[in-house]
């Protein structure tokens, strides 16, 4: 295990922030450019995971276990969110026979 943890010794914190930024932005782009509701939902999961990774990196950086406990709570939240969200998508599919979000334009102002 020592050899494994030695591999991160030289990685600056900025590079973790950079990685999380890029993946978070990819999630944002995914939400903006896709029309399939399920793929949009997956992009949201991508954003949640980028934040999780950053929290874990900060937790190790500061030597504080609270960050990792917080990641655990975010994972519990994500599980609940996915269950409700996919139920909503199933309901939308049952009503409109598609998961295209452009069908739901009545929510537009």
Partner 1 sequence: MSTFYFIAFLSIFFSILVISAKNPVHSILYLILTFFTFTIHYILLNAQFLAIVNFIVYMGAILVLFLYTLMLINLNKESEPVKPFMVKFAGVFGGGILIVALVASLKSIGISDPVILKNPDLGLVKNLGKVLFNEFLLPFEVSSVLLLSAMVGAVLLATKDPKAA
CA neighbours closer than 13 Å in the CB half-sphere of residue 59: 14
Select the residue interacting with partner 1 from 44, 51, 83, 109 (CB under 8 A). Answer: 83
Site pattern 11..50 for partner 1 (x: CB under 8 A): xxxxxxxxx-xxxxxxxxxx-xxxxx-xx-xxx-xx--x-
Q: Is 77 in the site for partner 1 (CB under 8 A)?
A: yes
CA 54 vs. chain centroid, Å, equals: 11
Longest dimension (CA), the chain: 57
Q: Is 87 in the site for partner 1 (CB under 8 A)?
A: yes
Cα dihedral across residues 5, 72, 76, 107: positive or negative: negative
Closer CB to partner 1, 98 or 104, in the complex = 98
- Which CB sits closer to partner 1, 34 or 104? 34
């Amino acid at each position: 295990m020592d050899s494994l943890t030695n591999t991160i010794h030289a990685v600056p914190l900025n590079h973790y922030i950079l990685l999380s930024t890029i993946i978070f932005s990819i999630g944002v782009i995914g939400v903006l450019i896709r029309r399939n509701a399920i793929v949009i939902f997956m992009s949201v999961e991508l954003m949640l995971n980028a934040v999780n990774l950053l929290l874990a990196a900060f937790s190790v950086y500061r030597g504080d276990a609270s960050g990792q406990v917080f990641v655990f709570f975010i994972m519990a939240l994500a599980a609940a969110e996915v269950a409700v969200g996919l139920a909503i998508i199933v309901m939308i599919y049952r009503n409109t026979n598609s998961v295209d979000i452009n069908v739901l334009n009545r929510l537009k102002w």
